[in-house]
Structure formats: structure tokens, C-alpha cells
Amino acid sequence: MHRRIEARIVNPLLGEQIPVPSYATDGSAALDLRACIEAPITLRAGSRELIKTGLAINMMDPSLVAIVASRSGLSLKHGLHVAQGIGVVDADYHGEIAVILANSGQEDYVVQPGDRIAQLMFQPVVQVALSMVDKFSTETERGEGGFGSTGKS
């Protein structure tokens, strides 16, 4: 059985001219977020724009976070991606979700009203309690090695 949370529609275009976000298939892990805009927006090559989705979520559950992720097809075919890598929607944020969409492609791209622009996925959250120490052991197989230290294979 799937866990359900409340989602609110905050833009009158959503559900009227623009489809409500949905899962594309029964096996989809993320909802498709759509551009909830009245007119097309041109993303110039190398630029970024804030694109509204018309959706606000009310999780009220601090054990969850909503993650805004890029759509693979837009990234591959047009160089469009979520500008900061992923977007984090904290459980206590109740405003409209907007996507910072970046165009790293070589050509301008026009976002049309209703276009699928990103994905929204829900994940469990673990908060870590940090504590100050003078030092800690690095005696592991890897030690302090990073950035490719384990080789290519």
C-alpha cells in the first residue's frame, strides 16, 4: 500500500488548461511537474529561469522530503536540467513549488505552458546530530582517499 500525502493546487490554470502533476506509469517513482505558466518562456542557451508549477504540498511529516529532479529526456536532447542539481522541498515549506530550469545546451529552448519540466520524488529524511571531536580514525581500506582513489575498476 502506498503512503499518501496532501497536495494542494495553488494556480487556477492547473487542472483547467494545464494537466495536474501525475505519475506516468504505475511503476514511476516521481510525479511529472509541468510548467504552470500562461505564456511560453524562452530559455536562452546558457541561461536559467524560475518556472512555476502551480503545485504546493503540505506534508506535515518531517520524516519526508520532496526532491525536484531533472527529466532525463530534456537533459539529453536539449541540455535542460534543474539548475542546482536537485531541488529540496522541506516538509515545512508550504508555498508553490517552482523549478530553477537551466539551459546548458547550445540553442535556445521554449518552455510551453503545460510542458513537463521536472520530476518530484518523495524520500525519507534522516537528520544527523553533529558532534565536535579532536580527531577520528581514518584506518579503513580507503582511509582519507577520495576523488577516484579506488581506481577505475
Q: Check the annotation: does 134 bind a ligand.
A: no
pLDDT for 107: 97
Other beta carbons within 10 angstroms of residue 58's beta carbon come to 13
Taking the chain (153 residues) in runs of 10, the rounded mean pLDDT of each run is 69 86 91 95 98 87 92 96 95 92 97 97 92 83 74 68
pTM: 0.84
Q: Check the annotation: does 95 bind a ligand.
A: no
Q: Check the annotation: does 133 bind a ligand.
A: no
Q: Check the annotation: does 115 bind a ligand.
A: no
Q: Check the annotation: does 151 bind a ligand.
A: no
Is the separation of the CB atoms in 119 and 69 below 8 Å? yes
pLDDT digits (tens, 9 = 90+) for 53-94: 999 888 778 888 999 999 999 999 999 999 999 999 998 998
Q: Check the annotation: does 71 bind a ligand.
A: yes
pLDDT for 1: 53
Is the separation of the CB atoms in 69 and 118 below 8 Å? yes
Q: Check the annotation: does 48 bind a ligand.
A: no
